[in-house]
Structure 1
Amino acid sequence: MRAIVVLRSTRVYIAVYIVTGSLEAPSGVLHLLRRTMRGRPSMSDQERWAWLREQTPVLRDYVYLNCGWSGPLSYPVVEAMRRRLDLELWHGPTTRTVMDDRQATTARLREASARMLGADADEIAITGNTTEGVNIAVNGLDLRAGDGIVTTTAEHGGGIVPAYFLRERRGCELRLVPLEAECSPGEVLERFDQAIDANTRLVLLSEITYSTGQLLPLAEISRLAHARGASVVVDGAQTAGHVPIDVHALGVDAYAVPSHKWLCGPDGLGMLYVRRERIAGFDPVKVSGRAAASYDFEGGFEPEREKVTKFEVSTTSGPVVAGTLAAVEQYLESGPVAVWDRVRDLNRAAEARFANIPGVAPASPCIDTTRSGLFLVTVGEEDPGRVAAYLQRDHRVVARAVRQYNAVRLSLHAYNTEADIERAATGIEQALSEGIPDDILAPVPGGAE
């Protein structure tokens, strides 16, 4: 007779199979047991990155260089989600046990996100993703016909399209700051200085551009914008999880980040920072009971103005909240500064390696003050979509195409290695020198990247 005993701990569920008086377990469960019991004592940086690789099973079969689109899940993240699902399975979604867990986990996520962003917990709203956070912020401002909006030519669709809609729906005037990867911070700031005037009410930008990985001088841009009366809303999709962030020091008014990219958390959740002094100045775009300070059924109503939770509309997935918390905590435990240093080391290694490949050229910033974990490399006359598809099928390298630059983008995270860069470089070399097989087609454009 076979019985299954589930042991619950704060970090992991371990299935123990009891068969005729002896203990047996699948190899994966034994690996999980060894990994959990080992713990995480003080580690060197190299030991820390090796530990991260061990926790991320996709890295056994792939060179994963695409967390700028969506990061790979780790064991701790999946375990946190499973624990929450198991809690709901055995207790139901609305019992006091589960509801208390939801409240506590959400509070912990606010606190962890605040530590990650350099904010306070009561400045953090839980959203669905970065784009939702950006929309909450920019559409919550009282922008009117003739008000100026400044953004850049390097924005993701989740940033530039909301700006276009503000132009179309409210009659705002839109200015686009041209950005090239080779621009120095001083040149970038000079261009914003020319674009922002006394009529500007909103500056909307990414701290790191999704296409070339250019890190912008955000604190200086924020000071310039505020001096001229403009609010600053930031798309932080490409920063959270590999760049140390201090929103209070940056001085921005709103900063939106996702769970699923560099944090390597689950899809479907994001966090929005709104500076406490500015919360009342942003109206909620979608509303629920959380947007009311009070109301009755006789016509009495008072809107909530001061609490950041007014931007939260409805129920979020408990397992996704738990997984996101685990992802944020894993990043904080890894050390944001150490991660950032490692990522820039990998960027420099990629720059050196790809500089030696005929027919390609690095298209990302090449100075330390503007480089990041995103590394862009042009692929000559080849279709970058086909190059990315070839890398994945024939070399087990996961990257993405950036057609705007006819390039392939590599996302270099702390779990990556110099050997990963070499494998990607070898694949691109072969694609250009030997050609791509005819049966490899470019992926159909589209999707949230």
Structure 2
Amino acid sequence: MDVAEIRDQIPGLRFGVYLNTGGVGQAPASVSQAITAGYRLMADGRLSPIDWYEAMSKAASEIPAKIADFFGADSTEIALTMSTGDGFGMVLGGLRWEPGDEVLITSEEHPVPLQAVQGLADREGAVIKEVELDHGKDVILERVERAITPRTRLICFSHVTTDSGTLLPAGEICALARARGILTLWDGCQAVGQLPVDLHGMGCDFYATNCYKWLLAPIGTGFLYVRRDVQQALKPLRRPHDPSASARQYEMGSPASVLYLGVGASLDFMTCIGGPRAIAAEASRKAEGLWARLDAIPGVQVVSSRRPETRSGIVTFAIAGMEGDEVSTALRQRWQIVQRGTYMTDPTGVRISVAFYTSDAELDTLVEAVTTLAGEAKR
């Protein structure tokens, strides 16, 4: 993979050191060009507003098939959304609940899906049970199995956790759940575009994600996967249920169709540079190297897993004697390194997103900066 050539196609990488793809991905120029070309059809007077709307809607209708092909699903199982939270709302609101039904979450969920589950508990009387995470795959599976009871209705986990970047054994968890008649809903926003994701192979029931992080598509785009044979049980929130219709019946309204031209362009871009496996291999190599370099700095604790079965391109660390937000602010102000502090509080840290387009020079700058800050914190 020619990273220098790839970086030339991503204009946003020209400004500072960018290590926050897990927050917002840096889109290639082809993404903005696709969206701009769509808008110009109306702005240049080539189409009337209604003709433009119909043309963009038709173009967007082709995107579920493209998403399905990239992620190992059928086009009838993909609904277009604006965000991960949209997808969670469609699932949690579309299932029938009884007071006391249990939902399993992990100890490291992003606030948006966490609040969606908390809202479900408030409305429907569902019981939330938390599974403490670990870097060991077998430990995670054992804890999930122990948490399951006859009242467990839904397992609602992040595929890759937002703070430490722990990759969960999704396939094994889905198999465990299905054997017990439990549904699974996954937050995929830190996985799609970073790692190969095969939805049919994974065996999940629902998978919600945005497209603007590791998929490098526009903000305001996302998708929800609804496995075909569970569409009977999930009711749309804004229209009558049609068991013979596709997952697009779950969409909450008219999507911003022109933005999905950017999703198509981003998937084309990622395919052209080698596809999910090549992308994951490049990021994994760099992340493992960064993990080792940070771990060697006195006063630095690397929070993320280094085990191959549970690690990802997210490398999170803490500096003894400094709060995570303090470290994050110093990195941005003194070295122009874009990253973010973590939600977790024990310890507070900084999350580094190592993407396939991250350069060795960027990681060198980060290591030098962290070494300096750790030394200053010891004085």
Q: Which residue in 2 is equivalent to 1:50?
A: 4
**Greater shift in the superposed pair: 369-378 or 53-62:** 53-62
Secondary structure in 2 matching 1:138: helix
For residue 361 of structure 2, what is the aligned residue in structure 1? 419
Distance of 1:371 and 1:93 partners within structure 2: 50
Q: Tell me which residue corresponds to 1:69.
A: 23
Q: Distance in 2 between matches of 1:236 and 1:57?
A: 26
Segments of structure 1 that go 5 or more residues without pairing to the other structure are 1-44, 293-302, 436-449
Residue 78 (structure 2) pairs with residue 127 (structure 1): no
Unaligned stretches of 5+ residues in structure 2: none
Partner residue in 2 for 1:305? 243
- Aligned equivalent of 1:33: none
RMSD over aligned Cα atoms: 1.7
Pick aligned residue for 2:313 from 373, 381, 396: 373
Match of 1:206 in 2: 158
Where does residue 264 of structure 2 map in the other structure? 325
* Structure-1 residue corresponding to 2:351: 409
Give CA deviations for 1:41-91 in whole Å, capped at 9, x if unaligned. Answer: xxxx2x2x2232111122222211101111112211111111011112123
Give the secondary structure class of the aligned counterpart of 1:318.
Answer: coil
| Matches of 1:122 and 1:51, distance apart in 2 | 36
The ranges of structure 1 where at least 4 consecutive aligned residues each deviate by more than 3 angstroms after the TM superposition are 91-96
Aligned-pair CA distance for 1:99? 4.0
Which one of 294, 307, 327 corresponds to residue 354 of structure 1? 294
Q: Which residue of 2 aligns with 1:187?
A: 139
Structure-1-length-normalised TM-score: 0.80
Amino acid at match of 1:328: L
Shift of 1:391: 1.4
Task: Find out whether 1:177 has 2:131 as its counterpart.
Answer: yes
Q: Which has the higher contact order (CA 8 A, sep 6+)?
A: 2
Q: Which residue of 2 aligns with 1:429?
A: 371
CA contact (8 A) 2:57 2:257 kept: no
Q: Among residues 203, 223, 229, which one is paired with 2:175 in the alignment?
A: 223
In the TM superposition, residue 403 of structure 1 has moved relative to its aligned partner by 4.6
2:49 to 94, 98, 119: 94
User: What is the alpha-carbon distance in structure 2 between the residues aligned to residue 413 and residue 61 of structure 1?
Assistant: 16
Contact 2:85 2:116 in 1 (8 A): no
| Residues 250 and 403 of structure 1: CA distance in aligned 2, closer, same or farther (over 3 Å) | closer
Q: How many residues align?
A: 373
Partner of 1:344: 284
Give the CA deviation at 1:171: 1.2
> Aligned-pair distance for 1:355?
1.6
Q: CA deviation at 1:249?
A: 0.9
Q: What is the CA–CA distance in structure 2 between the aligned matches of 1:392 and 1:380, rounded to whole Å? A: 19
Q: What TM-score do you get using the length of structure 2 for normalisation?
A: 0.94
Give distance in 1, aligned partners of 2:249 and 2:172: 30
2-side partners of 1:378 and 1:196: how far apart? 33
Q: Counterparts of 1:178 and 1:246 in 2: how far apart (Å)?
A: 26
In 1, Cα distance between equivalents of 2:100 and 2:230: 22
Partners of 1:67 and 1:411 within 8 A in 2 = yes
Residue 161 of structure 1 and its aligned partner are, at CA, apart by 1.6
Which residue in the other structure is 2:335 paired with? Answer: 395
